[in-house]
Amino acid sequence: MPSNAAPPLNEDFRLVEGLRGQRPGAVGHVYNVYGPELVEYAEGLLGEHARAVEAVRSALLALRGKGVDVPDAGTFRDWLYELVRDECRVPVRGRRRVVVIGAAAAVVLVGGIFAVLESGGGGKPGTAPPVAVATPEPSLPSVTVSPAQKDEQKKRDEKKHDEPAAAKPKKHRPAGKAGPGRLAVGDGGCHGIGVAGLPRSCPVRLTAVGGTVHWAVTSVRSRGGRVSASGGGTLSAGRSTTVNVVVRPTVLCYVGGGGGGSVSFSPGGTATVSYTCWRR
């Protein structure tokens, strides 16, 4: 919407008379008075300064036509805003653009835009409007390869082609970590053992199957008494070891008559423990 700071009505009257009479410099005079606020208004609609400048330029260019119906001074300012608003609604592909080159883009778009609009109208007769000229980028010098350099490169390529490919170093696995080994758990010796007052131990047999296994006791669970076990080590494929599981009776074990528990191992496997308790 138009801002509150508007030029005096007599200023709008002179602008209207200049446009109606197609006087030289009339469009440039309109831009000098209303250009900044029109660009700000268009930028608020488009969200981009360069497109806003182009929209205002295109809208004011249309004022140079002989058939333009310029309103009176009282509605002139609102009419300009409507022209810019309509121009902002035109698709980008259908709007003419000003081509600017290099770091002078902002100056050409804003400061010198109406040197093009009013060429031949307010400047010296016969003076052409300034045109931004693109300076071509300097091309890189061509590289000339001598016959001797070609022969040398050819020899290098042939030598590289004839050399056998370097053998990739083999990855050596650390000792004791080869093979997809797994752990077989034999817990038959810990089933139904009798506990009377003193701790009682039972064996759990661990065997490495299919490869080397790094084993360890990971957890122990008890019910009715206290079960304990610990240890760890390395077993080659087919080798075995024994883990001692200790069962200590408690009051609950005597009350219930027995209990149980389990011992878990890594990389996998669990031994089940069961026992009975009685008084001496």
For residue 118, count other CB atoms closer than 10 A to its CB: 19
* 3-class secondary structure, 9: helix
Residue 186, pLDDT score:
92
Which residues are registered as beta bridge partners of 222? 261
In SS3 terms, 19-74 reads as HHCCCCCHHHHHHHHHHHHHHHHHHHHHCCHHHHHHHHHHHHHHHHCCCCCCCCCC
Is the pLDDT reported for residue 197 higher than 80?
A: no
For residue 113, count other CB atoms closer than 10 A to its CB: 21
Instruction: Enumerate the domain spans of the chain.
Output: 9-117, 182-277
What is the C-alpha separation between 135 and 207, in angstroms, rounded?
83
Q: What are the structure tokens assigned to 209, written together?
A: 């199957």
Is the pLDDT reported for residue 66 higher than 70?
A: no
Is residue 238 within 8 A of residue 213, CB to CB? The reply is: no
Is residue 265 within 8 A of residue 216, CB to CB? The reply is: yes
Residue 5, pLDDT score:
56
What is the C-alpha separation between 171 and 76, in angstroms, rounded?
85
DSSP state, residue 121: T
Q: How confident is the model at residue 129 (pLDDT cuts 50, 70, 90)?
A: very low
Is the pLDDT reported for residue 136 higher than 50?
A: no
Is the pLDDT reported for residue 103 higher than 70?
A: no
Q: How confident is the model at residue 140 (pLDDT cuts 50, 70, 90)?
A: very low
Residue partners of 32: CB distance under 8 A and separation at least 6: none
More confident residue, 79 or 107: 79
Cis peptide before 24 (omega within 30 of 0): no
Residue 111, pLDDT score:
47
Closest C-alpha among 53, 33, 30, 58 to residue 42 = 53
Q: Which stretch, 103-112, 180-189, 192-201, has highest mean pLDDT?
A: 180-189
DSSP H stretches of helix in 62-106:
76-88, 105-106
Is the pLDDT reported for residue 251 higher than 70?
A: yes
β-pairing verdict for 232-235 and 270-277: unpaired
Question: Using one digit for the tens of pLDDT, what is the confidence trace for 258-276?
Answer: 888 999 999 989 999 998 8
Which residues are registered as beta bridge partners of 210? none
The position carrying tokens 């008494």 is: 225
Of 119-123, 187-191, 195-199, the poorest mean pLDDT is in 119-123
Is the pLDDT reported for residue 115 higher than 70?
A: no
What is the C-alpha separation between 167 and 160, in angstroms, rounded?
15
Q: How confident is the model at residue 124 (pLDDT cuts 50, 70, 90)?
A: very low
Question: Using one digit for the tens of pLDDT, what is the confidence trace for 86-96?
Answer: 999 987 654 44
Q: What are the structure tokens assigned to 162, written together?
A: 């004839």
More confident residue, 206 or 166: 206
**Would you tell me which CATH number, out of the four given (3.30.565.10, 1.20.210.10, 3.40.50.280, 2.60.40.10), belongs to the domain 182-277?**
2.60.40.10
Q: How far apart are the first and last CA of the chain?
A: 104
Q: How confident is the model at residue 57 (pLDDT cuts 50, 70, 90)?
A: very high
Question: Using one digit for the tens of pLDDT, what is the confidence trace for 6-53?
Answer: 666 688 999 998 888 888 888 998 999 999 999 999 999 999 999 999
More confident residue, 13 or 198: 13
On the 0-12 / 13-18 / 19+ scale of CB atoms within 10 A, 122 is middle
Residue 96, pLDDT score:
46
Residue 64, pLDDT score:
81
Is the pLDDT reported for residue 107 higher than 70?
A: no
- C-alpha neighbours within 13 Å on the C-beta side of residue 67: 0
Name the average pLDDT for the chain: 75
Is residue 225 within 8 A of residue 252, CB to CB? The reply is: yes
Of 135-144, 151-160, 171-180, the poorest mean pLDDT is in 135-144
